[in-house]
Each structure stands twice: as structure tokens, then as C-alpha cells.
Amino acid sequence: MRHFLTLKDYTKEEILDIISLGLAIKKELKSGNTIRHLSGQTLAMIFEKSSTRTRVSFETGMFQLGGHGLFLSHRDIHLGRGEPVKDTARVISSMCDMVMIRTFEHSKIEEFAAYSSVPVINGLTDSYHPVQLLADYMTMMEHSKAKNPVVAYIGDGNNMTHSWLMLAAKLGFELRVATPKGYEADAAIIAQAQQIAKASGALLRFTHDPKTAVRGATVVTTDTWASMGQEEEKEARLKIFEGFMVDDALMATADPDAIFLHCLPAYRNQEVSESVLEGAQSVVFDEAENRLHAQKGLMVWLNKQQKRQ
Ligand code: CP
Ligand code: NVA
């Protein structure tokens, strides 16, 4: 059975298939011709962290596909009171057709998946945010003119960085990551991505200088400097990350047709200036909408894999 925990477990062809399916379903929706690909199915959505986009896109997506999404906050289910992950996984997967989880440690979703009898989707862990990257690449396909993408990721070496590393490594494009010293991406994940990149020809570059990363890039992206769970570090990080804001001066050094991506929520005039976020090169709201379409593609794709078993 296939879960969707990281892009590491997927081939280039599979990633592109899922996105193509999402684009086809998007076209159906826009033409008013919605097909109930998942009629009568249920998706359990377990949230141990806040969410706007992930919750709304999965719940709406499931409804549009003819199914139903159950929002399960950790505050309301026994998981939050100490019922073991392996028990929760067996119970929920005995009643639902798919499970989406947003949690802290990546090992928790791995444990859940090991005990689940239905596909488990990662809706963000401390280590990865793979569904976001499906939407991000879909947005690049729609908005970027570049044949050979050069992506510059500026900021914290976090779950988004790790997911960009895996996407670039799998698809074979150039990714330049600029982080402050001490805030680099996880060394073990970098090593895995470098290993995968050998086969795909991806170029993965690392620097502490945002200008070096952005020069000539066709996509510029960033993320919050303090992720969920790091609230207490926020003040300190604001000082440490000075000089890493994506502003007009930095964007001006990218390719003239470069697009700006951000998974959102964005903190204006911290990791990105108000002018860049709201500027002509920013496609962040199309990117957010694409969460809906890309994840519908993913859920239909996973369902097809289930039927093949
Ligand atoms: N980008 C993203 O996952 O947003 P939410 O935290 O609002 O779900
Ligand atoms: N890195 C951020 C992404 C939010 C969608 C976080 O984990 O909080």
C-alpha cells in the first residue's frame, strides 16, 4: 500500500502523474463538470497543529470528489489524551478510506502509517511538507516560463527546505538554499537528497548568502523564520535572520521573469517584504488555491493504487 509521507518514496514519473491528475481535475472543476471520483469515501484529518490551507483544501477537495472529510483536532480525540498512535491508527483506518495527519515528529506519522490499513498522507510534520510541493510545482508549471527551473530558497532550513530538496532531487532541477549559519537544513536529509540527485542530475547548492542564491533564479521562495512549535524562538530568530528578507532589491537580481512563491502564512516585512508578496511576480494566492487541486489529484491517485491491490 502506498502512503504519501515524503517525496523520497515517489519517482519523478509518479510525482508528475499526480500533478497532471490534479491539473485535469482542476480543469473539470473550472468547466463546471465535477466528477465524483471518491464517491462515498471518507478522509480522516488529524490536526495536532493549526492550519488554514491544509484543512480547507482537504475538506473541500474531498467534498468536491463526492466524499467527506472528518476534521479531528488532537484536542477532541483521545490521541491528545495519550491513546497510543498505533491504536488510533488501527481504529481510524478500519472506518475511513484515507487519513491525513499534521503533526510534530515525523516518526509519529511513520508509526501511524505502519499500523494503518489505508493510505496516510502527510499534511506537514516538523521534517516535511510534501503536499505543499505538489501545489508549488503545479504553480511553477502554470506560471513559470523557464524550461530549466533554478529555484532559490531563502531562510530557515526547515520542513519546506527539506521538501524542496526532495522535489529538486527527484525532478532533476537546480535548487539553491541560503540559510543563516546554524539554521541549515538537516544534514541527513541533505545527504539523502544529494544521493538521489546523482541519478537525476539535480544541482543542490548551499550558501549563507541570499544574493548568491537568487542571482538569475527563475523561482524565488521563502518560508516563516519560526515554524509551528518554535514560537518561543521567534524574537531571537528575527535578529538572527536579518538580511534574509526577500525584498525588491533581492528580487531584482533574479531572472526578470522570475516568480515568487510562499507556502503561507507569510509574515510581512520579516521573511518577505510587503511589496514582493503583493507584487507582480508573486503568485502566492494561485499557489494556495493549487493546494486544493493538487491534493485532489493525490487522493484520486492513491485511491487508484488501492484498487489495483
Ligand atoms: N501552507 C500551509 O500548509 O498552510 P496552513 O498551515 O494554513 O495549512
Ligand atoms: N515551516 C512552516 C510551514 C507552515 C505551512 C511551519 O512548519 O510552521
State the pLDDT confidence band at 33, using cuts at 50, 70 and 90: confident
pLDDT (mean) for 136-161: 97
pLDDT (mean) for 77-90: 96
- Asked whether residue 175 carries a pLDDT value surpassing 90, the answer given is yes
State the pLDDT confidence band at 156, using cuts at 50, 70 and 90: very high
- Asked whether residue 110 carries a pLDDT value surpassing 90, the answer given is yes
Average pLDDT of the chain is 97
| pLDDT computed for residue 204 by the predictor | 98
State the pLDDT confidence band at 79, using cuts at 50, 70 and 90: very high
> In 3D, which of 96, 91, 120, 92 has the Cα closest to residue 108?
120
Residues with Cβ within 8 Å of residue 268, at least 6 apart in sequence: 274, 277
pLDDT (mean) for 66-72: 98
DSSP 185: P
55 is catalytic: no
| pLDDT computed for residue 232 by the predictor | 98
| pLDDT computed for residue 186 by the predictor | 98
Reduced to 3 states (helix: H, G, I; strand: E, B; else coil), residue 66 is coil
132 is catalytic: yes
- Asked whether residue 170 carries a pLDDT value surpassing 90, the answer given is yes
Question: Does ligand 1 lie within 6 Å of residue 288's CB atom?
Answer: no
Assess contact for 237 and 230: CB atoms under 8 A: yes
Q: How far apart are CA 297 and CA 278, in angstroms?
A: 28
Of 72-76, 154-158, 247-251, the range with the lowest mean pLDDT is 72-76
Compute the distance from residue 201 Cα to the ligand 1 centre, in Å: 30
| pLDDT computed for residue 34 by the predictor | 83
Q: What is the DSSP annotation of 249-292?
A: HHHTTS-TT-EEEE-S---BTTTB-HHHHTSTTB-HHHHHHHHH
State the catalytic residue, choosing from 97, 262, 263, 295.
Answer: 263
Task: Identify the residue whose C-alpha is closest to ligand 1 atom 1.
Answer: 263
- Asked whether residue 309 carries a pLDDT value surpassing 90, the answer given is no
247 is catalytic: no
Compute the distance from residue 230 Cα to the ligand 2 centre, in Å: 10
- Ligand 1 nearest-atom number relative to CA 288: 1
Ligand nearest to the CA of 127: 2
Compute the distance from residue 163 Cα to the ligand 1 centre, in Å: 14
Helices of type H across the chain: 12-30, 53-64, 85-95, 106-115, 130-143, 159-171, 187-200, 210-214, 234-240, 248-251, 274-277, 284-308
The three cell numbers locating residue 59: 475538506
- Asked whether residue 291 carries a pLDDT value surpassing 90, the answer given is yes
- Asked whether residue 299 carries a pLDDT value surpassing 90, the answer given is yes
Amino acid type, 59: E
State the pLDDT confidence band at 145, using cuts at 50, 70 and 90: confident
Compute the distance from residue 161 Cα to the ligand 2 centre, in Å: 10
Compute the distance from residue 190 Cα to the ligand 2 centre, in Å: 19
Task: Identify the residue whose C-alpha is closest to ligand 1 atom 3.
Answer: 54
> In 3D, which of 289, 301, 304, 308 has the Cα closest to residue 4?
301
308 is catalytic: no
- Asked whether residue 254 carries a pLDDT value surpassing 90, the answer given is yes
Reduced to 3 states (helix: H, G, I; strand: E, B; else coil), residue 38 is coil
Q: How far apart are CA 158 and CA 237, in angstroms?
A: 13
Q: How far apart are CA 72 and CA 232, in angstroms?
A: 26
Q: What is the DSSP annotation of 145-172?
A: --SS-EEEEES--SHHHHHHHHHHHHHT
Q: Domains plus CATH for the chain? A: 7-129+290-308 (3.40.50.1370), 132-287 (3.40.50.1370)
State the pLDDT confidence band at 98, using cuts at 50, 70 and 90: very high
Assess contact for 62 and 6: CB atoms under 8 A: no
Of 272, 291, 292, the one to substitute when testing ligand 1's pocket (max ligand atoms within 8 A of C-beta) is: 291
Torsion-angle region of residue 46: left (phi > 0), alpha (psi -120 to 50) or beta?
beta
Assess contact for 247 and 213: CB atoms under 8 A: no
291 is catalytic: yes
| pLDDT computed for residue 93 by the predictor | 98
